[in-house]
């Protein structure tokens, strides 16, 4: 069979909502982001025989800033299992335990079916989580209605609960992409939405950055840009290879106001590598 890609369709983000609390976060609608639809992408191929597999999850390296922990944050985790597995219909609860042993609240969850592959059925576990403080989660436990439980590696999900209140200063500009097909590159167009000049530094990413540019010109980590009200700047990052199937990054931008005060603006989290899942990625998930 020829090489195929399998797409997870995410809503496009054209102009994220104005941040309500800085650290001054710009937000993506939790409802929109959680509405993940898995699209079949196997036209022209016969349906393969269904193998016997146990649920396996893609490994995601995620750095997530949760603007409002009480409202929750949408998370999608790609999984692979047999078409007749109870994972699709019989999950009674989902438990996320942080590195300190403290559970992360799961407000709601659902399991969505997707493509049938040579290694089982591809799907997505959709969660709304409410971390109360900074924590890192590397495994999840699925509890079934029959009393059985299974624990799975999911990579590393680092959650930071947003704190602080302040006026909006900087937000993602129109065209800010929250979803990418690859994991090697992302861009961050930004707009000064305050009524005064501000100085913007190179955003910090919890990912290995090989190179960064400002408005198309090579830049260094310590470089800064002065923006007048309404003025825009675009940062572009080339990212090093990660030991994970997918990346979720939250760019955090250092901002200095005219009065000398400083703040960090958390942009909407960007999902890297999730749009076109290849046969090679499916096979890697299946072999874990």
For the chain, the three-class secondary structure string (H helix, E strand, C coil) is CCCCEEEEECCCCCCCECCCCCECCCECCHHHHHCCEEECCCCCCCCCCCCCCCCEECCEEEEEEECCCCCCEEEEEEEEECCCCHHHCCEEEEEEEECCCCEEEEEEEEEEEEEEECCEEEEEEEEEEECCCCEEEEEEEEEECCCCEEEEEEEEEEEEECCCCCCCCEEECCCCCCEECCCCEEEEEEEECCCCCEEEECCECCCCEEEEEECCEEECCCCEEEECCCCEEEEEEEECCCCCCEEEECCEEEEEECCCCEEEEECCCEEECCCEEEHHHHHHHHCC
> What per-residue confidence (pLDDT) applies to 83?
95
Q: Angle 247-140-149 (CA atoms, 0-180°, nearest 5)?
A: 150
**Nearest Cα to Cα of residue 177 among 168, 167, 165, 185:** 185
> What per-residue confidence (pLDDT) applies to 166?
61
pLDDT string in tens for the chain (288-residue length): 333 444 443 333 333 333 333 333 333 333 333 333 333 332 333 344 444 447 999 999 999 988 888 889 999 999 999 999 999 999 999 999 888 788 899 999 999 999 999 999 999 999 999 998 899 999 999 999 999 999 999 999 999 887 544 678 999 998 899 899 888 899 999 999 999 999 999 999 887 888 999 999 999 888 999 999 999 999 999 998 778 999 999 999 999 999 899 988 888 889 998 887 888 889 989 988
Structure tokens at 241: 């290879």
Q: Angle 240-245-250 (CA atoms, 0-180°, nearest 5)?
A: 60
> What per-residue confidence (pLDDT) applies to 32?
37
Torsion, Cα of 82, 84, 90, 95 (10° steps): 0
**Distance (Å, whole) CA 91 – CA 149:** 9
Structure tokens at 229: 């009200």
> What per-residue confidence (pLDDT) applies to 205?
87
Q: With contact defined as beta carbons under 8 Å apart, do 186 and 209 qualify?
A: no
Question: Tokens 């530094």 appear where?
Answer: 201
User: With 0-12 CB in 10 A as exposed, 13-18 as middle and 19+ as buried, what is 155?
Assistant: buried
**Distance (Å, whole) CA 19 – CA 15:** 11
> What per-residue confidence (pLDDT) applies to 16?
35
> What per-residue confidence (pLDDT) applies to 163?
53
């Amino acid at each position: 069979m020829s090489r195929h890609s399998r797409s997870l369709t995410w809503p496009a983000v054209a102009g994220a909502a104005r941040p309500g609390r800085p650290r001054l976060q710009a937000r993506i609608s939790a409802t929109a982001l959680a509405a993940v639809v898995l699209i079949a992408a196997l036209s022209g191929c016969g349906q393969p025989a269904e193998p016997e597999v146990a649920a396996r999850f893609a490994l995601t390296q995620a750095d997530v800033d949760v603007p409002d922990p009480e409202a929750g944050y949408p998370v999608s985790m790609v999984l692979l299992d047999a078409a007749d597995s109870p994972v699709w219909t019989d999950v009674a609860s989902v438990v996320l335990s942080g590195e300190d042993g403290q559970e992360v609240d799961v407000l709601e969850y659902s399991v969505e079916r997707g493509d049938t592959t040579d290694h089982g059925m591809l799907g997505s576990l959709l969660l709304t989580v409410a971390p109360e403080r900074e924590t890192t989660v590397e495994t999840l436990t699925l509890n079934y209605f029959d009393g059985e439980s299974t624990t799975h590696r999911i990579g590393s999900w680092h959650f930071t609960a947003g704190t602080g209140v302040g006026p909006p200063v900087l937000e993602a500009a129109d065209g800010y992409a929250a979803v990418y097909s690859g994991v090697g590159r992302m861009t961050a167009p930004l707009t000064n939405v305050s009524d005064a000049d501000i100085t913007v530094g190179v955003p910090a990413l919890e990912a290995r950055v090989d190179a960064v540019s400002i408005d198309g010109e090579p830049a260094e980590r310590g470089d800064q840009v002065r923006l007048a009200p309404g003025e825009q700047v675009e940062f572009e990052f080339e990212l090093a290879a990660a030991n994970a199937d997918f990346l979720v990054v939250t760019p955090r931008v250092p901002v200095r106001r005219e009065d000398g005060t400083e703040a960090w603006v958390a942009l909407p989290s960007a999902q890297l590598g999730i749009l076109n899942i290849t046969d090679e990625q499916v096979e890697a998930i299946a072999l874990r």
